[in-house]
Chain A
Amino acid sequence: MIERIFGIDRRDILKSAGAIAVAGLVPSSALATPETMTSAIEKALAGKVAKPGRIKLEISPLAENGNSVPLTISVESPMTANDHVKTIYMFAPENPQPDMVRFHLGPRSGRARVQTSVRLATTQRLQAIAVMSDGSAWTDSADVIVTMSACLDAG
């Protein structure tokens, strides 16, 4: 696996040179800055601090095509009226817009487990945040390597 990722040959160098040339054409305004990512997370947390644990983000570590990457998010919660997951946020720091999708759950959900498919502009570390009914927030992240980008090219 490591050899496959880091093993560089002539063809890879040509490909990455092409990728850099293409990346140069992307307007810089179309990529999220660390500030927009931070502000999106701050907005979601509203002053709270997200701790690691309770939430699990499952996604393939290698996505050949960034146009549609399936993911599963599950949160440990009894999902009762007094103790349930209220909102699950999904962020992609290297996408043009860090917000990807947001789920609103409640005691009638029964279980806190959701699935969807997202677009990834490039290789990055995704972050999921769950905000609970008691106000606590939990987070998990996952690295995804994207070989073919989504979002920015026509066609």
Chain B
Amino acid sequence: MRTARIVMPKSARKGDVIEIKTLVTHPMETGYRRDDMGKAIPRDIIKLLTVTYGGEEIFRMDMFPGTAANPFAAFTTIATETGELVFTWTDDKGEPSVEKVTLTVT
């Protein structure tokens, strides 16, 4: 199973811009490589990361074979209200990985 790491503040003041860093373990197999026997290694990449905050999408990232293995993303959002941030990664197999983090806004 994949492991995802999310680094972000647990709490913030309303209106603050917070930085969120995410990393998920994944080989991001490009589909261009061949194994030792010359057989093509099938493509297997994470295509999409979406992040919602209080149910509304705040960030989306489309990925391609040119995105490095164990895809990393850093971005920002405005702390609006106490709520849950839901991070969803979807790969070529259509299998999503979901992580949730609660942000407390004071």
Contact = CB atoms under 8 A, between A and B. Distances in A.
Interface in A105-143: 105-106, 108-111, 113-119
A3 interface: no
Contacts of B32: 30, 96, 151-152
Interface string A33-74: 000000000000000000000000000000000011110000
Would you call the interface of chain B mostly helix, strand, loop, or mixed?
strand
Contacts of A111: 17, 76
Nearest to A152: B32
A97 B35 contact: no
A104 B68 contact: no
A119 B66 contact: yes
Contacts of B74: 114-116
Interface in B49-79: 53, 56-78
Contacts of B73: 103, 114-116
Which among A152, A153, A154 has the greatest number of chain B C-beta atoms within 10 A?
A154
A102 interface: yes
Nearest to B37: A154
B66 A103 contact: no
A83 to B, nearest CB: 15
Contact of A106 (B17, B58, B62): B58
A113 B19 CA distance: 10
Contacts of A68: 68-70
B34 A118 contact: no
Given A92-B66, A96-B32, A108-B78, A117 B72 contact: yes
A70 B68 CA distance: 9
Nearest to B34: A154
Nearest to A117: B68
Interface in B71-96: 71-78, 80
A103 B30 contact: no
Interface in B5-40: 17-18, 21, 30, 32-36
B41 interface: yes
A144 interface: no
A116 B67 CA distance: 8
Contacts of B76: 109-111, 113
A100 B66 contact: yes
Interface of A: 30, 67-70, 90, 92, 95-106, 108-111, 113-119, 150-154
